[in-house]
């Protein structure tokens, strides 16, 4: 990981948009601070697209989609997007049809019950009521699980045929082919009618943990906020650059670096 200051000015100047994780990337101690909202607003004023891609549930994300200066929030690791329509109301868009979602939901609830029954200390995330297309087990938000327990949760999910990934606070599991990268491709196609793969070099991604590894791998302009170092040994792919500061302050530094190149 190179310091953010090593990110070439020419590359920053050519960007058309920024994807970002939410927890511990936009947020600090669970809150989005004023400097982060200013940074998002400044990126908007400069003409850049802004899309948050998160493992958080759609129900949790909906109030923020209504007020944050973002074009969309892609929630539940790519399964569902929240987009404001022409009248300003927030709409849900899904990757799976209703019958598939209902069938998968029942299967996932059974897996979640099994995790809580079989793995000591494992508890569903407190935001579980807002989840429609995945399940989440808390490991660092309100409950503490050690690395061995986290690995057991991941293994159990995968033994049930689920995808599983670990964020800075949760272990997420789901059925379906979506993930953060597929969610990013989907939303660029849906909102702007363009294939993301044709312009991958003109988007940046900002994240902080192991469930960002796929995005770090595919985006040449991938940046970790400084707390990504907590997961450095566990990441299959590291971000290209790292901001000096952690969490929201780090995101604000990334935005400032982009805007500096466009001044």
| Domain limits for position 126 | 98-174
Note whether 24 and 227 are within 8 A (CB): yes
At 171, phi and psi to the nearest 5?
Answer: -105, 120
> For the chain, give me the number of helices (H) and strands (E)?
8, 15
Q: Is residue 91 part of a domain?
A: no
Q: Is residue 128 part of a domain?
A: yes
Note whether 21 and 54 are within 8 A (CB): yes
Task: Verify that 185 and 167 share a domain, yes or no.
Answer: no
Beta bridge partners of 204: 18, 221
pLDDT of 87? 87
CATH number at residue 22: 3.40.50.1000
Task: Verify that 207 and 167 share a domain, yes or no.
Answer: no
CATH number at residue 129: 3.90.1070.10
Task: Verify that 203 and 216 share a domain, yes or no.
Answer: yes
Q: Is residue 81 part of a domain?
A: yes
Q: How far apart are CA 234 and CA 107, in angstroms?
A: 29
Task: Verify that 80 and 197 share a domain, yes or no.
Answer: yes
**Please, how many CA atoms are within 13 Å of residue 174, restricted to the half-sphere of its CB?**
29
Last residue of a domain, one of 157, 174, 191: 174
**How many domains are there within the chain?**
2
Last residue of a domain, one of 136, 159, 174: 174
DSSP per-residue string spanning 154-190: HHHHHHTT-EEEE-SSEEEEESSS--HHHHHHHHHHH
Task: Verify that 139 and 255 share a domain, yes or no.
Answer: no
At 188, phi and psi to the nearest 5?
Answer: -65, -40
Task: Verify that 192 and 238 share a domain, yes or no.
Answer: yes
Task: Verify that 188 and 211 share a domain, yes or no.
Answer: yes
Task: Verify that 121 and 75 share a domain, yes or no.
Answer: no
**pTM of the predicted model, to two decimals?**
0.92
Task: Verify that 184 and 167 share a domain, yes or no.
Answer: no
Q: Is residue 54 part of a domain?
A: yes
Task: Verify that 131 and 104 share a domain, yes or no.
Answer: yes
Q: How far apart are CA 46 and CA 93, in angstroms?
A: 27
Q: What count of residues does the chain have?
A: 263
Task: Verify that 104 and 66 share a domain, yes or no.
Answer: no
Q: How far apart are CA 223 and CA 208, in angstroms?
A: 8
Last residue of a domain, one of 140, 174, 208: 174
Task: Verify that 145 and 188 share a domain, yes or no.
Answer: no
Enumerate long-range contacts of 8-12, CB under 8 Å, 24 or more apart.
Answer: 9/260, 9/261, 10/261, 11/201, 11/220, 11/221, 12/221, 12/257, 12/258, 12/260, 12/261, 12/262
DSSP per-residue string spanning 32-91: E-HHHHHHHHHHHHTT-EEEEE-SS-HHHHHHHHHHSS-SEEEETTTTEEEEE-TTS-EE
Q: Is 213 left (phi over 0), alpha (psi -120 to 50) or beta?
A: alpha
pLDDT of 169? 93
Would you write out the chain's pLDDT as a tens digit for each of its 263 residues?
999 999 999 999 999 999 999 999 999 998 999 999 999 999 999 999 999 999 999 999 999 999 999 999 999 999 999 999 888 899 999 999 999 999 999 999 999 999 999 999 999 999 999 999 999 999 999 999 999 999 999 999 999 999 999 998 999 999 999 999 999 999 999 999 999 999 999 999 999 999 999 999 999 999 999 999 999 998 999 999 999 999 999 999 999 999 999 88
Q: What is the 3-state secondary structure (H, E, C) of 1-17?
A: CEEHHHCCHHHHHCCCE
């Amino acid at each position: 990981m190179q310091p953010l200051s090593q990110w070439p000015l020419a590359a920053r100047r050519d960007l058309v948009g920024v994807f970002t994780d939410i927890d511990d990337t936009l947020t600090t101690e669970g809150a989005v601070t004023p400097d982060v909202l200013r940074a998002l607003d400044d990126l908007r004023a400069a003409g850049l697209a802004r899309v948050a891609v998160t493992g958080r549930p759609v129900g949790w994300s909906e109030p923020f989609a209504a007020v944050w200066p973002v074009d969309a929030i892609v929630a539940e690791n790519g399964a569902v997007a929240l987009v404001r329509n022409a009248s300003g109301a927030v709409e849900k868009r899904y990757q799976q049809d209703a019958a598939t979602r209902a069938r998968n939901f029942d299967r996932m609830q059974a897996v979640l019950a099994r995790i809580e029954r079989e793995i000591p200390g494992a508890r569903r995330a407190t935001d579980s009521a807002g989840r429609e297309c995945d399940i989440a087990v808390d490991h660092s938000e309100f409950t503490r699980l050690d690395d061995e327990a986290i690995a057991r949760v991941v293994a159990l999910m995968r033994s049930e045929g689920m995808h599983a990934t670990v964020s800075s606070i949760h272990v997420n599991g789901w059925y379906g082919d979506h993930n953060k990268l597929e969610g990013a491709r989907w939303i660029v196609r849906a909102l702007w009618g363009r294939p993301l793969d044709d312009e991958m070099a003109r988007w940046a991604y900002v994240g902080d943990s192991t469930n960002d590894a796929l995005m770090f791998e595919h985006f040449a302009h991938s940046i970790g906020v400084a707390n990504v170092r907590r997961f450095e040994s566990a990441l299959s792919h590291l971000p290209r650059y790292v901001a000096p500061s952690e969490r929201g302050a780090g995101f604000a530094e990334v935005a400032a670096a982009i805007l500096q190149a466009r001044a």
